[in-house]
């Protein structure tokens, strides 16, 4: 009898062990009323080796009340973590609302990383007239401000994305950026010293509002052969038209590859050949949910090279993020992050460079996490974003920064059919067990 009971307990234990969640370490500054990390990149030491992670975002320093008016003093922030410990932090901003637009690296004359590059709008006090000019702030590897440089272009342009570029011999030669103002959008090439090499203005043609939303390099045999851009056009009736553009290497010419209006969201990423468009789509058939993810690899000739549609339901209102994993400057695979709409978990799945969906390596069950970006280094996942206070709870903060470290890779899930089978087996086992007990008791009574 004891042996039967032991087997039963083992079966139940095995069933509940099918869901194996990776162990996580969560770190938060938790020093401000509101905090959010929006970017994460590798941190480097003076020998050019990765020794930590650099996070960027914004914090609410304080709320100011002047003449019955309330002002939020947001500041841009960059912080370095090593072994889950905050090593240094840098904040930028006076009393106006200041945010971090881009986080990248700065380079020396030889193209080696010598610091971190922040892209922001020049700050001012709330009672001062703002210039609204974009500036670049260079930080040293230990977080000290080295210099500030204004984007030397006539007119006020806000930079949406800044990507490092390289020449035909794979040497770092500067950056490519997209930016917008109230009138039009721009594609901008800069050198390593942030001087403007060339600027291409997208023709307005009387359209009320044009925005460049995302940017990617277009590559062929590890050479840059152009730039892909997602363009949004909003007409007078607020109807949106989303187009995928391709510029050549000089930015002189562009062509429209396709429109992206049928998709629920759209972003760009690098590929081994060409570039990748990805996001959320409702053009799927799922047992649960109405949307999943899609990836389309356009090659360097603008042809649809491969397309992948996910089978997992996702929340289209949350971010879908594709991270290329490189080795020796070559993309080896991708990690895709999305939010599962059924259980509100955050999931990360591996995808090959041919678009094959592989293993799921991460699943976080916490609806109060808002993931903004993630990184993968030395087989460890790093996720950043925000932790929000539950609506039915009383917190000392409205939202705090999220820096989550996952050191375990595998996440095992039980499929619906498998879990039903296990439940049926356990149910049958219970019936048999009760029958055996009843039979033994009956025999004792007869004897």
- Report percent pLDDT > 90 for the chain: 62
Could you tell me which of 58, 2, 150 has the C-alpha nearest to residue 401? 58
Q: How many CB atoms lie within 10 A of CB 384?
A: 25
What's the rounded Cα separation, in Å, for the pair 133 and 181?
11
Q: Output the pLDDT for position 439.
A: 53
Q: Output the pLDDT for position 198.
A: 96
Q: Output the pLDDT for position 268.
A: 98
- Is residue 409's pLDDT more than 70? no
Q: Output the pLDDT for position 444.
A: 52
What is the pTM for the complete model shown?
Answer: 0.86
Mean pLDDT value across residues 101-130: 94
For all residues of the chain together, what is the average pLDDT? 86
- Is residue 119's pLDDT more than 50? yes
What's the rounded Cα separation, in Å, for the pair 104 and 78?
11
Write the pLDDT tens digit of every residue in 335-369: 999 999 998 899 999 999 999 999 999 998 877 88
pLDDT category of residue 207 using cuts at 50, 70 and 90:
low
């Amino acid at each position: 009898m004891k042996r039967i009971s032991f087997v039963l307990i083992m079966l139940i234990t095995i069933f509940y062990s099918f869901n194996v969640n990776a162990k996580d370490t969560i770190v938060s500054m938790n020093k401000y009323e509101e905090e959010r990390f929006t970017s994460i990149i590798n941190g480097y030491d003076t020998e050019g080796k990765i020794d930590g992670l650099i996070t960027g975002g914004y914090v609410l320093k304080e709320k100011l009340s002047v003449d019955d008016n309330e002002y939020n003093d947001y500041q841009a922030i960059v912080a370095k973590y090593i072994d889950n410990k905050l090593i240094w932090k840098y904040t930028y901003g006076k009393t106006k609302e200041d945010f971090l637009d881009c986080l990248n690296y700065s380079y020396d004359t030889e193209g080696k990383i010598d610091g971190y590059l922040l892209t922001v709008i020049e700050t001012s006090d709330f009672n001062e007239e703002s210039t609204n000019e974009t500036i670049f702030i260079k930080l040293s590897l230990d977080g000290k401000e080295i210099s500030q440089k204004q984007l030397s272009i006539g007119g006020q342009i806000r930079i949406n994305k800044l990507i490092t570029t390289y020449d035909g011999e794979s040497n770092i030669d500067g950056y490519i950026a997209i930016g917008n103002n109230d009138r039009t959008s721009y594609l901008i090439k800069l050198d390593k010293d942030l001087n403007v090499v060339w600027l291409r203005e997208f023709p307005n043609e009387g359209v009320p509002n044009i925005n460049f939303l995302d940017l990617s390099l277009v590559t062929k045999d590890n050479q840059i052969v152009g730039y892909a851009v997602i363009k949004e056009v909003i007409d007078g009736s607020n109807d949106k038209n989303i187009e995928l553009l391709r510029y050549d290497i000089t930015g002189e010419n562009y062509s429209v590859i396709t429109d992206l209006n049928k998709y629920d969201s759209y972003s760009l990423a690098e590929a081994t050949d060409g570039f990748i468009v990805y996001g959320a789509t409702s053009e799927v058939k799922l047992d649960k949910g109405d949307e999943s993810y899609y990836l389309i690899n356009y090659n360097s000739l603008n042809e649809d090279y491969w397309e992948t549609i996910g089978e997992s339901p996702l929340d289209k209102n949350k971010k879908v993020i594709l991270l290329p994993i490189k080795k020796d400057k070559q993309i080896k695979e991708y990690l895709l992050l999305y939010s599962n709409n059924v259980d509100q978990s955050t999931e990360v799945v591996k995808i090959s460079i041919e678009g094959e969906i592989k293993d799921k390596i991460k699943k976080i069950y916490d609806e109060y996490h808002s993931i903004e970006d993630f990184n993968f280094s030395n087989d460890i996942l790093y996720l950043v974003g925000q932790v929000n206070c539950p609506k039915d709870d009383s917190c000392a903060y409205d939202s705090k920064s999220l820096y989550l470290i996952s050191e375990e890779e595998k996440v095992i899930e039980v499929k619906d059919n498998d879990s039903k089978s296990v439940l049926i087996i356990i149910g049958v086992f219970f019936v048999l067990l009760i029958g055996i007990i009843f039979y033994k008791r009956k025999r004792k009574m007869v004897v």
